[in-house]
Amino acid sequence: MFLCLPVWAQPAAEPEFEAAWLKPNPSVELSALIPANGKLLGKCVTLMRLISFAYDVPFARVSGPPWLDSAAFDVQAKGKVGTKDAEIRLMTRRLLAERFGLECHREIKPGRVYFLVRDGGGPKMVPADEPQPPNPKLPRSFHPLIAGDVTIDEFAAVLSRYVAVPVIDRTGVSGKFHFYLWWGSNPETDPDIFQAVKEQLGLKLQPGNSDVEFLVIDRVSRTPSEN
């Protein structure tokens, strides 16, 4: 049985950008989304990524049409100078509702997950209050994942973006750490992300099932309204 919570509407009192511009970008480029100083700037940003940012939910916990991963846009949105990132997320929610007609709700349902657990010898991360060792120089074929001054729970949320299902922290380890993780794309010579987590962090991704909170898309348009 699923637990459904109210649809997330956009009340008039929510903050909004002073001006916002969206342009479809069908090219396959390196995407970027930068919230800073009251602005939201994006290049070739998918609708999935905009929704994920607005609601602070990993990709793996967004349930919607498959084209969310392919409909991409250049974004320029301007708010007041000094606006914090948390408020920019609320402004992005309103932008998505007004331009894409986005309606969504939260839903708790069972799903496939990975539990992040300790692997025998214990964690190998460096505590955040200690100097981070220099990161190794890697060939361009490798995928580095760097995170500093974050908890394991926060890092697990980041990992979920790369393994396509939610990652839940079950290490029982508290505190904040420096994380540096790298994996490659050649299965014959490079570690995959599962090997990397085990060998480089002293942790393990263990498959399982659990109740997970999803952001379910009820309605959204692939084409935004005019600027």
Q: Which pLDDT belongs to residue 162?
A: 87
> Is the Cβ–Cβ distance between 207 and 112 less than 8 Å?
yes
- Cβ partners under 8 Å of residue 8, min gap 6: 55, 93, 103, 104, 105, 106
What are residue 16's phi and psi, to 5 degrees?
A: -140, 160
Q: Which pLDDT belongs to residue 12?
A: 46
Q: Which pLDDT belongs to residue 30?
A: 67
Q: Which pLDDT belongs to residue 9?
A: 46
Q: Which pLDDT belongs to residue 189?
A: 83
> Is the Cβ–Cβ distance between 50 and 42 less than 8 Å?
yes
Pairing label, strands 62-63, 203-219: parallel
- Write out pLDDT tens, residues 91-134: 999 999 999 999 999 999 898 999 999 998 788 998 989 887 77
What pTM was estimated for this model as a whole? 0.68
Question: Could you tell me if residue 37 is left (phi over 0), alpha (psi between -120 and 50 degrees) or otherwise beta?
Answer: left
> Which residues, given as ranges, of the chain have pLDDT below 70?
1-13, 28, 30
- Distance in angstroms (rounded) separating the CA atoms of residues 19 and 75: 11
- Distance in angstroms (rounded) separating the CA atoms of residues 15 and 187: 47
Q: Which pLDDT belongs to residue 28?
A: 66
- Distance in angstroms (rounded) separating the CA atoms of residues 159 and 61: 12
CA-closest candidate to residue 58, choices 151, 147, 174, 154: 154
Pairing label, strands 72-78, 19-24: antiparallel
